Amino acid sequence: MIFYLDRHERVQAIFTNNGSPDSCPYYDDLMKEDLDTGTSSYEFRIPSNHPKSKEIEEGGFIVRKNLDNELVMFTVIRIEETHADIGDKYIFAENAGLELLNDIFRPITHMSKNVNQILDIVLADTRWVRGETEYFGIDNFYFEDYQTVLAALQYVKERFAAELNFRVKMQNGEIVARYVDLVEKRGNDTKKRFTYNKDISSIRRKIDMSNVVTALIGVGKDFKTFKTISYSTASGKAFNKPLNQDWVGDPDAVQRYGIKGKHLFGVFQYDTSNAEDLLKRTWSELQRRKTPLITYELDVSLLERLANLDHEAVRIGDTVYVIDETFSPALYLEARVRQLETCFSDPSKDKCVLGNFKKAKSNITADMRAIQSKLLKKESTWDDVGEKIFKNPNPPTVIKFTWENDDLTETWESEV
Protein backbone atom coordinates (compact mmCIF):
# COMPACT_ATOMS: atom_id res chain seq x y z
CA MET A 1 0.00 0.00 0.00
CA ILE A 2 1.32 3.42 -1.03
CA PHE A 3 0.01 6.63 0.55
CA TYR A 4 0.16 9.88 -1.38
CA LEU A 5 0.16 13.08 0.70
CA ASP A 6 -0.14 16.55 -0.79
CA ARG A 7 2.20 19.46 0.01
CA HIS A 8 0.25 20.05 3.22
CA GLU A 9 0.83 16.39 4.16
CA ARG A 10 -2.81 15.36 3.89
CA VAL A 11 -3.59 11.93 2.43
CA GLN A 12 -5.13 12.36 -1.01
CA ALA A 13 -4.78 8.91 -2.58
CA ILE A 14 -3.89 5.32 -1.83
CA PHE A 15 -2.35 3.03 -4.44
CA THR A 16 -2.67 -0.70 -3.91
CA ASN A 17 -2.68 -3.96 -5.84
CA ASN A 18 -5.15 -5.78 -3.62
CA GLY A 19 -7.85 -5.85 -6.31
CA SER A 20 -10.29 -3.45 -4.63
CA PRO A 21 -12.72 -2.00 -7.20
CA ASP A 22 -11.88 1.66 -6.55
CA SER A 23 -8.17 1.28 -5.80
CA CYS A 24 -5.53 2.60 -8.16
CA PRO A 25 -2.92 -0.08 -9.00
CA TYR A 26 0.83 0.54 -9.26
CA TYR A 27 3.53 -1.36 -11.13
CA ASP A 28 7.20 -1.23 -12.18
CA ASP A 29 8.02 0.05 -8.70
CA LEU A 30 11.53 0.04 -7.24
CA MET A 31 12.81 1.07 -3.81
CA LYS A 32 16.57 1.65 -3.71
CA GLU A 33 18.31 1.76 -0.32
CA ASP A 34 21.92 2.87 0.17
CA LEU A 35 23.91 1.94 3.27
CA ASP A 36 26.61 4.60 2.88
CA THR A 37 24.25 7.59 2.94
CA GLY A 38 21.36 6.05 4.87
CA THR A 39 18.94 7.45 2.29
CA SER A 40 16.75 5.84 -0.36
CA SER A 41 14.57 6.54 -3.40
CA TYR A 42 11.32 5.12 -4.71
CA GLU A 43 9.81 5.06 -8.19
CA PHE A 44 6.65 3.50 -9.64
CA ARG A 45 4.05 3.80 -12.38
CA ILE A 46 0.27 4.16 -12.25
CA PRO A 47 -2.34 4.26 -15.06
CA SER A 48 -2.77 7.88 -16.14
CA ASN A 49 -6.48 7.41 -16.85
CA HIS A 50 -7.32 6.50 -13.24
CA PRO A 51 -9.09 9.32 -11.33
CA LYS A 52 -6.59 9.13 -8.45
CA SER A 53 -3.60 9.61 -10.76
CA LYS A 54 -4.56 13.27 -11.13
CA GLU A 55 -4.01 13.84 -7.41
CA ILE A 56 -0.27 13.28 -7.45
CA GLU A 57 1.97 16.32 -7.98
CA GLU A 58 5.62 17.32 -7.64
CA GLY A 59 6.42 18.37 -4.10
CA GLY A 60 3.92 15.94 -2.61
CA PHE A 61 4.93 12.97 -0.51
CA ILE A 62 4.91 9.19 -0.78
CA VAL A 63 4.76 7.02 2.35
CA ARG A 64 5.11 3.25 2.31
CA LYS A 65 6.54 0.40 4.39
CA ASN A 66 9.86 -1.24 3.62
CA LEU A 67 10.50 -4.97 4.02
CA ASP A 68 10.92 -4.54 7.80
CA ASN A 69 7.56 -2.74 8.14
CA GLU A 70 9.22 0.61 8.83
CA LEU A 71 7.42 3.58 7.30
CA VAL A 72 9.62 5.52 4.90
CA MET A 73 8.65 8.92 3.53
CA PHE A 74 9.68 10.21 0.09
CA THR A 75 9.34 13.60 -1.60
CA VAL A 76 8.00 13.51 -5.17
CA ILE A 77 10.75 15.00 -7.34
CA ARG A 78 9.79 14.11 -10.89
CA ILE A 79 6.63 13.04 -12.77
CA GLU A 80 6.50 11.88 -16.37
CA GLU A 81 3.24 11.15 -18.18
CA THR A 82 2.82 9.09 -21.33
CA HIS A 83 -0.25 9.14 -23.55
CA ALA A 84 -0.55 6.13 -25.87
CA ASP A 85 -2.81 3.10 -26.23
CA ILE A 86 -2.13 2.44 -22.56
CA GLY A 87 -1.05 5.67 -20.87
CA ASP A 88 0.79 5.72 -17.58
CA LYS A 89 2.32 8.16 -15.12
CA TYR A 90 5.86 7.67 -13.81
CA ILE A 91 6.69 8.99 -10.32
CA PHE A 92 10.20 9.36 -8.90
CA ALA A 93 10.64 10.31 -5.24
CA GLU A 94 13.64 10.77 -2.93
CA ASN A 95 13.90 10.05 0.79
CA ALA A 96 12.29 12.89 2.73
CA GLY A 97 15.40 13.03 4.92
CA LEU A 98 17.08 14.85 2.04
CA GLU A 99 15.05 17.93 3.00
CA LEU A 100 17.87 18.44 5.53
CA LEU A 101 19.89 19.69 2.57
CA ASN A 102 17.82 22.87 2.91
CA ASP A 103 18.65 23.41 6.60
CA ILE A 104 21.97 25.09 7.46
CA PHE A 105 24.14 24.25 10.47
CA ARG A 106 26.49 27.04 11.52
CA PRO A 107 30.16 26.77 12.57
CA ILE A 108 30.57 25.77 16.23
CA THR A 109 32.63 23.48 18.44
CA HIS A 110 31.07 21.04 20.89
CA MET A 111 33.34 19.24 23.34
CA SER A 112 32.67 15.95 25.14
CA LYS A 113 29.28 15.10 23.67
CA ASN A 114 27.65 11.69 23.39
CA VAL A 115 25.58 10.62 20.40
CA ASN A 116 22.23 11.69 21.88
CA GLN A 117 23.50 15.14 22.81
CA ILE A 118 25.10 15.89 19.44
CA LEU A 119 22.11 14.59 17.44
CA ASP A 120 19.76 16.80 19.46
CA ILE A 121 22.02 19.80 18.74
CA VAL A 122 22.32 19.12 15.01
CA LEU A 123 18.59 18.45 14.52
CA ALA A 124 17.36 21.22 16.84
CA ASP A 125 15.97 23.56 14.16
CA THR A 126 14.58 20.89 11.83
CA ARG A 127 11.44 18.76 11.59
CA TRP A 128 13.46 15.65 12.44
CA VAL A 129 14.32 14.26 15.88
CA ARG A 130 16.70 11.70 17.30
CA GLY A 131 15.45 8.13 16.89
CA GLU A 132 17.17 4.86 17.75
CA THR A 133 20.78 5.24 18.90
CA GLU A 134 23.53 3.19 20.52
CA TYR A 135 26.28 4.20 22.93
CA PHE A 136 29.50 5.28 21.19
CA GLY A 137 31.23 7.02 24.07
CA ILE A 138 32.19 10.71 24.14
CA ASP A 139 33.77 12.75 21.32
CA ASN A 140 34.60 16.34 20.34
CA PHE A 141 32.93 17.89 17.29
CA TYR A 142 34.44 20.71 15.23
CA PHE A 143 31.96 22.20 12.75
CA GLU A 144 34.35 24.56 10.97
CA ASP A 145 32.15 25.87 8.15
CA TYR A 146 28.57 26.64 7.19
CA GLN A 147 27.12 23.35 6.00
CA THR A 148 23.81 21.61 5.50
CA VAL A 149 22.32 19.66 8.39
CA LEU A 150 22.61 16.53 6.27
CA ALA A 151 26.35 17.15 5.87
CA ALA A 152 26.62 17.68 9.64
CA LEU A 153 24.86 14.34 10.18
CA GLN A 154 27.32 12.64 7.84
CA TYR A 155 30.19 14.19 9.84
CA VAL A 156 28.73 12.87 13.12
CA LYS A 157 28.23 9.47 11.48
CA GLU A 158 31.88 9.33 10.46
CA ARG A 159 33.14 10.45 13.88
CA PHE A 160 31.29 7.58 15.53
CA ALA A 161 31.85 5.12 12.62
CA ALA A 162 28.07 4.61 12.66
CA GLU A 163 25.26 4.21 10.11
CA LEU A 164 22.20 6.39 9.44
CA ASN A 165 18.55 5.58 8.82
CA PHE A 166 15.53 7.84 8.21
CA ARG A 167 11.97 6.75 9.05
CA VAL A 168 8.63 8.28 10.00
CA LYS A 169 5.60 7.55 12.17
CA MET A 170 2.07 7.96 10.82
CA GLN A 171 -1.20 8.09 12.77
CA ASN A 172 -4.72 8.72 11.43
CA GLY A 173 -3.33 9.71 8.05
CA GLU A 174 -0.86 12.27 9.49
CA ILE A 175 2.91 12.22 9.90
CA VAL A 176 3.41 12.66 13.64
CA ALA A 177 7.17 12.08 13.90
CA ARG A 178 10.32 11.96 11.75
CA TYR A 179 13.24 9.98 13.15
CA VAL A 180 16.98 9.89 12.42
CA ASP A 181 18.52 6.65 13.69
CA LEU A 182 22.27 6.35 14.28
CA VAL A 183 23.43 2.83 15.07
CA GLU A 184 26.75 1.02 14.98
CA LYS A 185 25.68 -1.39 12.27
CA ARG A 186 22.44 -1.76 10.32
CA GLY A 187 21.26 -5.23 9.37
CA ASN A 188 22.16 -8.54 10.98
CA ASP A 189 24.76 -11.27 10.64
CA THR A 190 22.23 -13.58 9.02
CA LYS A 191 24.59 -16.39 7.90
CA LYS A 192 22.72 -16.15 4.58
CA ARG A 193 24.85 -17.82 1.90
CA PHE A 194 24.94 -16.72 -1.72
CA THR A 195 26.06 -19.85 -3.56
CA TYR A 196 27.07 -20.16 -7.18
CA ASN A 197 24.41 -21.96 -9.27
CA LYS A 198 21.78 -21.41 -6.56
CA ASP A 199 21.30 -17.67 -6.18
CA ILE A 200 24.49 -16.47 -7.91
CA SER A 201 24.51 -16.63 -11.70
CA SER A 202 27.99 -15.14 -12.18
CA ILE A 203 30.98 -13.89 -10.19
CA ARG A 204 33.67 -11.62 -11.60
CA ARG A 205 36.86 -11.05 -9.64
CA LYS A 206 38.97 -8.00 -10.48
CA ILE A 207 42.52 -7.48 -9.22
CA ASP A 208 44.02 -3.98 -9.52
CA MET A 209 47.55 -3.31 -8.29
CA SER A 210 47.91 0.15 -9.87
CA ASN A 211 47.97 1.80 -6.43
CA VAL A 212 50.11 -0.78 -4.60
CA VAL A 213 53.05 0.62 -2.62
CA THR A 214 55.59 -1.23 -0.47
CA ALA A 215 56.96 1.87 1.30
CA LEU A 216 55.53 5.26 2.28
CA ILE A 217 57.17 8.61 3.00
CA GLY A 218 55.33 10.30 5.86
CA VAL A 219 54.72 14.06 5.68
CA GLY A 220 53.10 15.92 8.57
CA LYS A 221 52.12 19.50 9.32
CA ASP A 222 54.63 22.07 7.97
CA PHE A 223 56.43 19.21 6.16
CA LYS A 224 57.40 17.55 9.44
CA THR A 225 58.78 13.97 9.12
CA PHE A 226 59.61 11.13 11.49
CA LYS A 227 63.37 11.03 10.79
CA THR A 228 64.17 11.56 14.46
CA ILE A 229 62.38 8.35 15.51
CA SER A 230 63.85 4.85 15.54
CA TYR A 231 61.64 1.75 15.68
CA SER A 232 62.73 -1.90 15.83
CA THR A 233 61.06 -5.22 16.41
CA ALA A 234 63.94 -6.12 18.77
CA SER A 235 62.65 -3.48 21.18
CA GLY A 236 59.10 -4.78 20.95
CA LYS A 237 57.77 -2.54 18.17
CA ALA A 238 55.56 -3.86 15.36
CA PHE A 239 58.00 -2.91 12.58
CA ASN A 240 61.48 -1.55 11.83
CA LYS A 241 62.28 2.08 10.94
CA PRO A 242 65.91 3.23 11.21
CA LEU A 243 66.94 6.65 12.53
CA ASN A 244 67.23 9.47 9.92
CA GLN A 245 64.90 7.66 7.50
CA ASP A 246 61.79 9.57 6.38
CA TRP A 247 60.01 6.48 5.05
CA VAL A 248 58.80 3.14 6.36
CA GLY A 249 58.66 -0.04 4.29
CA ASP A 250 57.09 -3.48 4.54
CA PRO A 251 59.67 -6.27 3.96
CA ASP A 252 57.09 -8.89 2.96
CA ALA A 253 55.40 -6.55 0.48
CA VAL A 254 58.66 -5.59 -1.24
CA GLN A 255 59.55 -9.25 -1.70
CA ARG A 256 56.20 -9.93 -3.33
CA TYR A 257 55.51 -6.76 -5.32
CA GLY A 258 58.81 -4.86 -5.47
CA ILE A 259 60.86 -4.60 -8.67
CA LYS A 260 63.91 -6.83 -8.10
CA GLY A 261 63.88 -6.02 -4.41
CA LYS A 262 63.35 -2.26 -4.90
CA HIS A 263 60.49 -0.61 -3.02
CA LEU A 264 57.45 0.88 -4.71
CA PHE A 265 57.24 4.30 -3.00
CA GLY A 266 54.32 6.52 -2.21
CA VAL A 267 53.65 9.58 -0.04
CA PHE A 268 51.27 9.80 2.89
CA GLN A 269 50.28 13.20 4.28
CA TYR A 270 48.63 13.69 7.66
CA ASP A 271 47.91 16.93 9.48
CA THR A 272 49.89 16.41 12.71
CA SER A 273 52.99 17.84 14.40
CA ASN A 274 53.63 14.70 16.42
CA ALA A 275 56.34 12.63 14.70
CA GLU A 276 55.47 9.35 16.40
CA ASP A 277 51.78 9.75 15.61
CA LEU A 278 52.75 10.41 11.98
CA LEU A 279 54.91 7.27 11.89
CA LYS A 280 52.14 5.05 13.29
CA ARG A 281 49.55 6.41 10.89
CA THR A 282 51.92 6.06 7.94
CA TRP A 283 52.52 2.41 8.85
CA SER A 284 48.76 1.81 9.14
CA GLU A 285 48.19 3.40 5.74
CA LEU A 286 50.95 1.23 4.28
CA GLN A 287 49.19 -1.91 5.52
CA ARG A 288 46.10 -0.80 3.64
CA ARG A 289 47.93 0.00 0.39
CA LYS A 290 50.51 -2.78 0.27
CA THR A 291 48.21 -5.31 -1.42
CA PRO A 292 46.22 -5.12 -4.67
CA LEU A 293 42.63 -3.96 -4.63
CA ILE A 294 40.40 -6.99 -5.16
CA THR A 295 36.76 -6.41 -6.03
CA TYR A 296 33.95 -8.81 -6.85
CA GLU A 297 30.93 -8.24 -9.03
CA LEU A 298 28.04 -10.64 -8.57
CA ASP A 299 24.74 -11.23 -10.32
CA VAL A 300 22.49 -12.52 -7.55
CA SER A 301 18.85 -13.44 -7.10
CA LEU A 302 16.93 -12.68 -3.91
CA LEU A 303 14.81 -15.71 -3.12
CA GLU A 304 12.92 -14.60 0.01
CA ARG A 305 9.79 -13.31 -1.72
CA LEU A 306 10.39 -14.96 -5.09
CA ALA A 307 10.32 -18.47 -3.62
CA ASN A 308 8.54 -17.58 -0.36
CA LEU A 309 11.56 -18.61 1.73
CA ASP A 310 11.85 -16.63 4.96
CA HIS A 311 15.36 -17.94 5.68
CA GLU A 312 16.58 -16.33 2.43
CA ALA A 313 15.71 -12.83 3.68
CA VAL A 314 18.20 -10.08 2.79
CA ARG A 315 18.13 -6.58 4.28
CA ILE A 316 20.28 -3.49 3.89
CA GLY A 317 23.42 -3.79 6.02
CA ASP A 318 23.19 -7.56 6.50
CA THR A 319 26.42 -9.55 6.74
CA VAL A 320 26.24 -12.48 4.30
CA TYR A 321 28.53 -15.09 2.79
CA VAL A 322 29.51 -15.73 -0.83
CA ILE A 323 30.54 -19.25 -1.85
CA ASP A 324 31.85 -20.40 -5.23
CA GLU A 325 33.66 -23.72 -5.15
CA THR A 326 34.18 -23.67 -8.92
CA PHE A 327 36.89 -21.04 -8.40
CA SER A 328 40.45 -22.29 -7.97
CA PRO A 329 41.11 -21.98 -5.12
CA ALA A 330 37.52 -22.11 -3.85
CA LEU A 331 36.02 -18.72 -3.01
CA TYR A 332 34.67 -18.09 0.48
CA LEU A 333 33.85 -14.44 1.22
CA GLU A 334 32.11 -12.44 3.90
CA ALA A 335 30.32 -9.32 2.64
CA ARG A 336 27.73 -6.71 3.56
CA VAL A 337 24.62 -5.66 1.66
CA ARG A 338 25.50 -2.07 0.70
CA GLN A 339 22.63 -1.43 -1.71
CA LEU A 340 19.23 -3.11 -1.85
CA GLU A 341 16.61 -2.82 -4.59
CA THR A 342 13.08 -4.01 -3.81
CA CYS A 343 10.22 -4.30 -6.30
CA PHE A 344 7.01 -4.82 -4.33
CA SER A 345 4.97 -5.52 -7.46
CA ASP A 346 7.42 -8.05 -8.95
CA PRO A 347 9.80 -9.87 -6.54
CA SER A 348 11.81 -11.28 -9.47
CA LYS A 349 13.34 -7.81 -9.88
CA ASP A 350 14.72 -7.69 -6.33
CA LYS A 351 18.50 -7.45 -6.21
CA CYS A 352 21.35 -6.23 -4.04
CA VAL A 353 24.92 -4.98 -4.25
CA LEU A 354 27.47 -6.54 -1.92
CA GLY A 355 30.58 -4.80 -0.61
CA ASN A 356 33.21 -4.86 2.17
CA PHE A 357 34.42 -8.24 0.98
CA LYS A 358 36.63 -10.20 3.36
CA LYS A 359 37.98 -13.69 2.93
CA ALA A 360 36.16 -16.20 5.12
CA LYS A 361 37.41 -19.58 6.24
CA SER A 362 35.47 -22.70 5.31
CA ASN A 363 34.75 -25.29 8.01
CA ILE A 364 34.85 -28.04 5.38
CA THR A 365 38.07 -30.02 5.79
CA ALA A 366 40.00 -31.96 3.16
CA ASP A 367 38.81 -35.24 4.71
CA MET A 368 35.19 -34.13 4.45
CA ARG A 369 35.70 -33.29 0.77
CA ALA A 370 37.24 -36.72 0.16
CA ILE A 371 34.19 -38.42 1.73
CA GLN A 372 31.87 -36.21 -0.32
CA SER A 373 33.75 -37.20 -3.49
CA LYS A 374 33.37 -40.92 -2.69
CA LEU A 375 29.64 -40.51 -2.02
CA LEU A 376 29.12 -38.72 -5.31
CA LYS A 377 30.91 -41.53 -7.18
CA LYS A 378 28.58 -44.13 -5.58
CA GLU A 379 25.46 -42.06 -6.24
CA SER A 380 24.95 -43.37 -9.79
CA THR A 381 25.29 -46.99 -8.57
CA TRP A 382 22.64 -46.47 -5.91
CA ASP A 383 20.33 -44.83 -8.44
CA ASP A 384 20.64 -47.88 -10.74
CA VAL A 385 19.73 -50.28 -7.94
CA GLY A 386 16.62 -48.33 -7.04
CA GLU A 387 14.23 -49.20 -4.22
CA LYS A 388 13.75 -52.90 -3.32
CA ILE A 389 10.75 -54.37 -1.47
CA PHE A 390 11.18 -57.67 0.39
CA LYS A 391 8.06 -59.82 0.87
CA ASN A 392 7.45 -62.39 3.61
CA PRO A 393 4.42 -64.63 4.16
CA ASN A 394 4.46 -63.86 7.90
CA PRO A 395 3.25 -60.48 9.18
CA PRO A 396 5.69 -58.35 11.21
CA THR A 397 5.64 -58.43 14.99
CA VAL A 398 3.37 -55.77 16.49
CA ILE A 399 4.90 -53.97 19.47
CA LYS A 400 2.65 -52.25 21.97
CA PHE A 401 3.94 -49.59 24.34
CA THR A 402 2.62 -48.65 27.77
CA TRP A 403 3.61 -45.50 29.65
CA GLU A 404 4.47 -45.81 33.32
CA ASN A 405 2.23 -43.54 35.44
CA ASP A 406 1.50 -41.39 32.36
CA ASP A 407 4.66 -39.45 33.21
CA LEU A 408 6.89 -38.78 30.24
CA THR A 409 9.85 -38.18 32.52
CA GLU A 410 9.66 -41.78 33.76
CA THR A 411 11.33 -44.71 32.01
CA TRP A 412 9.05 -46.95 29.98
CA GLU A 413 9.17 -50.52 28.68
CA SER A 414 7.68 -52.44 25.76
CA GLU A 415 5.37 -55.46 25.91
CA VAL A 416 5.16 -58.06 23.12
How would you write 13-49 as a 3-class SS string? EEECCCCCCCCECCEEEEEEEECCCCCEEEEEEEECC
End-to-end CA distance of the chain: 63
pLDDT in tens, 144-161: 889 999 999 999 999 898
What is the pTM (predicted TM-score) of this model? 0.70
pLDDT in tens, 199-234: 888 888 888 889 999 999 999 988 999 999 999 999
Q: What mean pLDDT value characterizes the chain?
A: 86
Strands of 35-107 (E only): list them.
Answer: 40-47, 61-65, 71-82, 88-95, 104-105
Q: What is the predicted pLDDT for the residue at 22?
A: 74
133-147, 270-284, 382-396: which range is least confident on average? 382-396
Is pLDDT of 372 > 70? no
Domains of the chain: 2-99 (2.40.30), 104-183 (3.55.50), 210-291 (no CATH)
pLDDT in tens, 50-65: 888 888 999 999 999 9
Is pLDDT of 405 > 50? no
Given a contact cutoff of 8 angstroms between Cβ atoms, the answer to whether 5 and 12 are in contact is: yes
Q: What is the predicted pLDDT for the residue at 190?
A: 86
